[in-house]
A = this chain, B = another copy of it.
Amino acid sequence: MIGVYDSGYGGLTVLRALRAALPTHDFVYLGDSGRAPYGGRDTDTILDFAEQCVERLFEEGCPVVVVACHTVSCVALRHLQRRYGGAHRRVLGVTIPAAEAAVAESRGHIGVIGTTRTVSSGTFAAEVAKLGAHRVTQRAAPLLAPIVEEGWADTEIAHLAVARYVEELGDIDTLVLGCTHYPLLRPAFLAALPPGVALLDPAPFVAARLADWLERHPEVLEPGGSIPTIPRASAGSLRILCTGEPANFRAHGELFLGEPLPIVAHVAEEGGRLAHKDRVEVRLGQVVR
């Protein structure tokens, strides 16, 4: 079973690519929607949340966890890998596959667009620098994820906002979508980009890298054996957990996954870990404690 962790809905676009590349594998997705967005959070809080989510996925039976969120991958991946890495479990991110794909595609000037936190981390540029002498121009696009979440990806508002951000990237030849919400803005990006500029969604490259890694480490998913080539009865199953309101997550998530979601289970923080909860506590109006 493969775990996919995201701060909310966006990682469902990565899950979509992972399931397309690995259709016989079982997945568990955890969206930390109750505590999203992570952008304004201090670093220690992001590390705390990331630890809780990754540990929940290990407990769900996933020895491999993909951190689908670019913000978490840029800030906390090395911490997660040091804390949880080992022969029998692994945490993988999206930044290195994105950097590799960009360097392979680009003729010399890569643009990247993402959340404020992703851009300020400088992690994508640092990964590109390890691979060659490409120039990297970054731009934070704090409005784009909210536009997608509002369901306005196809509006003139989305087109104008994307055009404005793209304009500031100058003479790039490749644009990396450094946030998992942005694939839903693909038509707006294609309309805004000058001819000849490649638009790169890292998700399929993340999937290809995971498939390659699983090929080389069959013992992780099937201790003592190789990855079964014949699908099992449960093959291709999908379970979804979220920290927010599960019915909302299920309704809203379809836009990102591209197909209806199964029933979504609720998990919530309890004594520093994420535990399964039957009841979602909703407190409206004035709250007194």
Residues of A near any B CB (own CB < 8 A): 34-37, 40-44, 47, 74-79, 82, 120-123, 126, 142-143, 146-147, 149-150, 152, 155-157, 160-161, 164, 283-289
Whether A122 touches B288, Cβ cut-off 8 Å, given contacts A37-B40, A157-B164, A161-B157, is no
* Chain B proximity of A88: nearest CB distance (Å): 21
Contacts of A155 in B (CB 8 A): 160, 164
Indicate whether A286 sits within 8 Å of B79 (C-beta atoms), given known contacts A143-B147, A160-B157.
Answer: yes
A288 vs B286: C-alpha distance when bound (angstroms): 38
B150 in contact with A47 (CB, 8 Å)? no
A77 to chain B, nearest CB (A): 6
Q: Which residues of B contact A160 (CB under 8 A)?
A: 155-157, 160
Q: Is the CB of A143 within 8 A of B142?
A: no
This chain's copy number in the assembly: 2
Q: What is the CA–CA distance of A288 and B42 in the complex, to the nearest angstrom?
A: 14
A121: chain B residues within 8 A (beta carbon): 284-286
Which residues of B lie under 8 Å from residue A285 when comparing CB positions? 74-75, 121-123, 126
**How many angstroms from the CA of A159 to the CA of B82 in the assembled complex?**
48
Given A123-B286, A143-B150, 20 additional A-B pairs, CB 8 A: A34-B42, A35-B40, A35-B42, A37-B40, A43-B283, A43-B287, A47-B287, A47-B289, A75-B286, A79-B288, A79-B289, A121-B286, A122-B285, A123-B285, A142-B150, A143-B152, A152-B164, A156-B160, A157-B164, A160-B160
CA distance A147 to B74 in the complex (A): 25
Of the candidates B36, B82, B150, B157, which one forms a contact with A40 in the assembled complex, judged by CB atoms under 8 Å apart? B36
Neighbouring B residues of A47 by C-beta, 8 Å: 287, 289
Nearest chain-B residue to A38 (Cβ)? B40
Bound complex: CA of A157 vs CA of B120, how far in Å?
25
Q: Which residue of B lies closest to A243 (CB)?
A: B42
Inter-chain contact A287/B161, CB cutoff 8 Å:
no
Please state if B43 and A35 are interface contacts (CB–CB under 8 Å): no
Question: In the docked arrangement, what's the CA distance between A79 and B288, Å?
Answer: 4
Complex Cα–Cα for A152 and B144 (A): 13
List 11 interface pairs A-B (beta carbons < 8 Å), by A numbering.
Answer: A34-B40, A35-B42, A43-B287, A78-B286, A120-B284, A123-B285, A142-B146, A143-B147, A143-B152, A152-B164, A160-B160
When the two chains form the complex, which single residue of B37, B120, B150, B287 contacts A75, counting CB atoms closer than 8 Å?
B287
